[in-house]
Amino acid sequence: MADCPKILSARFEEPDSHTLAVYESHGGYTALRKALTELDPDRVREEVKSAGLRGRGGAGFPTGVKWGFVPQNTGKKVYLLVNSDESEPGTFKDRYILDYDPHLMIEGAILSSFAIHSNDCFIYIRGEYGWLVDRVQAAVDEAYAKGYLGKNILGSGYDLEMIVHKGAGAYICGEETGLINSLEGRKGQPRIKPPFPAVVGFLDCPTIVNNVETVAAVPWIVNHGAAEYRKVGTEKSPGTKLFSLSGPVKRPGVYEVPLGLPLEDLIFGEDYGQGMRDGIELKACIPGGSSVPILTAEETLDVNLDYESLAEKGTMLGSGGCIVIGDDANMPELLKVLLRFYHHESCGQCTPCREGTGWLDELVGRLIDGRGRPNDLELIEKLCSGMAGLTICVLSDAAVMPTRSFIQKFRADFEALLPRTQQPEAYVPTTSAAELGRR
């Protein structure tokens, strides 16, 4: 894709790309200068809105529209929280931005703060990315020293404080209201919406939570304009997106692709994954991080990487964590790995999720261990209907979506684990009456 501009990954392979000197030599912070001297916050917001940039953390909500929900002149502070709590299994793209181009994220965060009239910004980085916390802190210190952060930025009268905050190991803090509670010094348990954070967020103030990759696209949009951004991607999914490619492909890694690229190209293309490793055939693919429904090989070869095409196939673009699965994989085992994860990460607030993720984990586990019962697949489905859409956040749904799609699309693999002979429905005691009496 020679004609696709590198909006996010231009410096990933540049030596010392994390330093201010290299970033500036590539035109870094010119968008900030332009915004502060020639544009006002509304212009920046309008530009991002007409560019059609959508949230890259998973939900895909239009960024400029989200910014527009911030009420002005409430007398309260406005906060921008940059969500760097990347922990969706299969996703490692924000890590690349923080590692190889932290100043791109910082400039994007300053522009985004400016657009929503915020003077206070937090970068919330997952605790496991400890070395990236140091990396980003060093970059923030450089930006302060050069006058890109702090009081009266570039003499414009605009002030912005930026704090790098380190998480401490909780997947749920990647959910925006969980992140807000965490930053307030609480358990990272999500809040009921509405009210939406844009109105009542961090410390009850208007708050925007944006993903790293989302804010990282803003400098390019400010420099080149919405029209140029729209030349890449599709009508409804404009621009580029980073995809994290993992699984048994020849060249796993993070690739910036124009939205609308065939998923087949990402896996097999010369510029990207270069195909399956020798001796392994494509069996399935989870295109948007572990929480989205899985695609069969056939579906994988017949879908494009944009929000609409993936939705048509019943799945989602999500975080762009593209997990390729080979024919050597054991599907029930992979589902068990995912369910163990959701069980572990459920925050425990809502009963359907707290109990349901554990039961699903246990049920698939007993199938694998040969302790399954004839109606277990129906029981799993029954559990799923008691979990989906019934909780404060979507972690419960995130466990249900892979469960349902794995079993629906690879049913034979699961049926093979059921007891061979259909046992009667009647209750069969597995413990003696004497033993039961002792309990």
Partner 1 sequence: MSEEHQDAVPEVDASDAAADAVAVTDDPTKAFSFSPEREKKYEEIVRRYPTRLSAIMPMLWLCQDEWGWLKPGVPEWVAARLEVPISRVYEIISFYTMYYTENPGTYNLQVCRNISCHMAGSGKITKHLCKKLGVGLNETDSEGRFRVEEVECLGACGMGPMMQVGKDFYEHLTEEKVDELIEQWRRDG
Q: Which residues bind partner 1 (CB under 8 A)?
A: 86-92, 94-95, 120, 126-131, 134, 161, 163, 165-171, 182-188, 203, 244-248, 252-254, 286, 290, 321, 323, 325-326, 329, 333-334, 337-338, 340-341, 344-345
Dist CA 118 CA 72 (whole Å):
10
Is residue 408 within 8 Å of residue 369, measured between CB atoms? no
Distances in Å between the Cα of 114 and the Cα atoms of 31, 39, 158, 256 are 12, 10, 8, 26
Distance in Å, CB of 63 to partner 1, minimum: 23
Q: Name residues whose C-beta falls within 8 Å of residue 64's C-beta, 6 or more positions apart in sequence.
A: 45, 46, 47, 48, 49, 50, 51, 53
**What's the chain's length in residues?**
439
Number of helices followed by number of strands (H, E) in the chain:
20, 11
Interhelix angle 93-100/130-145, nearest 10 degrees: 40
- 224 burial class (0-12, 13-18, 19+ CB within 10 angstroms)? middle
Is residue 81 within 8 Å of residue 183, measured between CB atoms? yes
Distance in Å, CB of 432 to partner 1, minimum: 32
**Which residue's CB is nearer to partner 1, number 326 or number 374?**
326
**Which residue's CB is nearer to partner 1, number 14 or number 161?**
161
Distance in Å, CB of 212 to partner 1, minimum: 12
Distance in Å, CB of 421 to partner 1, minimum: 32
Distance in Å, CB of 166 to partner 1, minimum: 6
Is residue 52 within 8 Å of residue 62, measured between CB atoms? yes
Strand, helix or coil at 120? strand
Dist CA 116 CA 119 (whole Å):
9
**Which residue's CB is nearer to partner 1, number 143 or number 338?**
338
Is residue 205 within 8 Å of residue 77, measured between CB atoms? yes
**Which residue's CB is nearer to partner 1, number 275 or number 326?**
326
Distance in Å, CB of 247 to partner 1, minimum: 6
**Which residue's CB is nearer to partner 1, number 134 or number 415?**
134
**Which residue's CB is nearer to partner 1, number 39 or number 78?**
78
Q: Token pair 């989205």 is at which residue?
A: 292
Is residue 53 within 8 Å of residue 300, measured between CB atoms? no
Distance in Å, CB of 342 to partner 1, minimum: 10
**Which residue's CB is nearer to partner 1, number 297 or number 379?**
297
Distance in Å, CB of 168 to partner 1, minimum: 4
**Which residue's CB is nearer to partner 1, number 289 or number 372?**
289
Structure tokens at 400: 């249900």
From the list 104, 172, 97, the residue with the least C-alpha distance to 132 is: 97
